[in-house]
Structure 1
Amino acid sequence: MPVSPAMAEDLAREVRELYESAETALLERLAAALEAGIDSPRWAELKLAAVGNLRSAVEIISAALQQDADGATARALIAAYNRGRQAAVAEMGGLDIGRELVARDVLPNAPVVDRLAASLAEDTRPLYVRITRAIIDTYRRVIARASGTVLLGAMTRRQAAQQALNEFANKGITGFVDAAGRSWNLASYAEMAVRSVTARAAVEGHTDALTELGLALVIVSDAPLECPLCRPWEGEILTINGQSGPHTVRVDHAVQPTRLLARRRTVAVHVAGSLTEARAAGLFHPSCRHSLAAYLPGVTTRPPHHATPGTTYADTQRQRQIERHIRAWKRRQAVALDEVTRRRAGAYVRKWQAAQRAHVAAHPDLRRKPAREQIDRAI
């Protein structure tokens, strides 16, 4: 059975929900801290004096998030690696070459899992520092804006505070930049990082098992609605640990003649590059639809092309955009300081949900993912 990032996608869900739940709890805590005593003439003075209390509450949520996320990530990595290895068992188990592998216990490769966990920890460590700073900075900024606006007579303190909170909720806790220079908010960055590392664990579990069997080549699927990063690798053959760049190798045919025919059969195979090279170029990015399978020389054929008339990659990105709008308005609900504002945000949530239904209905190749439209409120 081929392996793909989608194989581990559900494993990242628990971690993503932890971050979304924490972000919602932080937004609600921020709004509650600002709303308390908002009609008092000493509001700004009292709020600034209470900043230490807010900081302590934020640090408690952040510490709980880090502990829960570390545990969930460790479980996800082990499960992803084992799924990848089990995929190789299923893929090769029907052949003589797979009998030994089928008989072995499926255990995670501890060094691989530990290395991936350490990599994720390094990537996400700045999140926890940024969380406290973002909330406290926003708290002070709302106080300053609300106080200044009221002095000028432009709007009430509640209106000014709500406007500033809405602006913050629209973006969420931001400031996380990936290696490509793209900016992310808290939950999206954590999801991207976890999905990426669990997908890698699944692929490495698969390729480790194939390497144990002496197989050195894999082939990339042809997936529908592919992105420009993946398109060059569709249907191509890659080496697991071999030479980078396009080249041709001569290898044994996967099916050899009987003993009565002494001469071994070989075939020439054009290789597009190495798996490491393809991944560095963008293959198997988060949300990638491609899969990887063992390539058996002389037996495996190129995958058929998946045409998707009426639906494009841009349509999938529009779906992601609508999901972001839904989540943004749900965050606006979380920071609403009065019932009127809360109901207005809810109306926009329903508006964007209707847009999502219409978009998916117009593109049969798309599937709605309700979990990506949620902000968890469990914390």
Structure 2
Amino acid sequence: MSAAILFYDNTNILDCPWPDTAYGQYARRYLLPLVQAGSEAFAGNVRTRLLVMSVDGVPVPITANDAEYDNSYVCSPYTHYVSYARQELSLLRSRPLIAALSALLSGIGGLLRASRFNRVVHVNNWLLSTNLYPALSDRQWADALGALVRAFPDHAIAFRSLCPALNAREMRLLRGRRCRFVPSRQVYLLRTCDPDFGNAKSRWLLKRDRALASRHGYVAVGPDDMTAADIPRIAELYKRLYLDKYSLHNPQFTARFLEMALTEGTLELHGYRDGRTGRLDAVLGFYAREGAMTTPLFGYDTSLPQEVGLYRMLSAMLIGIAADRGLLLHESSGAARFKRNRGAGAAIEYTAVYDRHLPAWRRCGWSALERLLGGIGVPLMRRYKL
């Protein structure tokens, strides 16, 4: 028997059934306001049509785009694979290689635009750096893919944030449906659910990192210790790290998004306050699903001296929370050496793309990118430990 697939947008979202489960009620608190108000009210650089796909009553967010080439990478594959990638070239530390790859990105960028690369529907897109997947059966995912192709016949269908350690079953199913698997980034996974995770060096480093808080007079705080008065400071800390230091292509969360995280618990917020002034100087926000957790909100006061160690303190706090709850910690990408030294292992993350219903000229961009990144991108990520 086929799964019942229904779509809800801002015209009928109030009719959407939300299961009386932890996941169902979380989805209601998170998605209902986004669909009603629109994505830009919660992330200023995310322009998309947001819908909820109900699969036998299980809500799954989907986003539909047509172009929006200056969009955040969470909805724009062009931004992810061209604009953001161009910014990351400096990490290679080789001028000839940077020059060659920059020219290659310019060439592939033209091809991608010509093939309407951003005409895409993203499945299970929570507008976050990492999308953890709900538990659906193979039949439900297969029927959902079929329904999406019928509903969006002129769009590629993409599944971001697929990692073999977390999504082996979904990846096997999508390979069986002849999806392309386009490498997206190298991520780091810390198996804190394994009581023997890490080695002596990593355990010593974590112990040293935790000790920094008391040494510099910081007090750990959790969700119950934060109020609406902290929202501007949380926004500032995230901006200093993820937008100013890393890239404006990251989601630019608004005060409304942070208020929702605080009041609705859509992200669990923790951080460190200066024990003398009460000022919040570091913050993280995570969510957990199906035995894993990830942290789309992370920031600290980058104007303070590096020897204070706010990044190390915050990372140790995050690892401690994951270990206490027996969760696999998805640490996203970046800071590779730091994460490896504390016990994390590297894994390649993929975007699975179904484009078999599209004409050949529309498929050529995804096809070229799949070959290019499989042949050049992944070896570079592994060699330079990006």
TM-score, normalised to structure 1's length? 0.25
Flag the structure with larger Rg: 1
- In terms of fraction of residues, the more strand-rich structure is 2
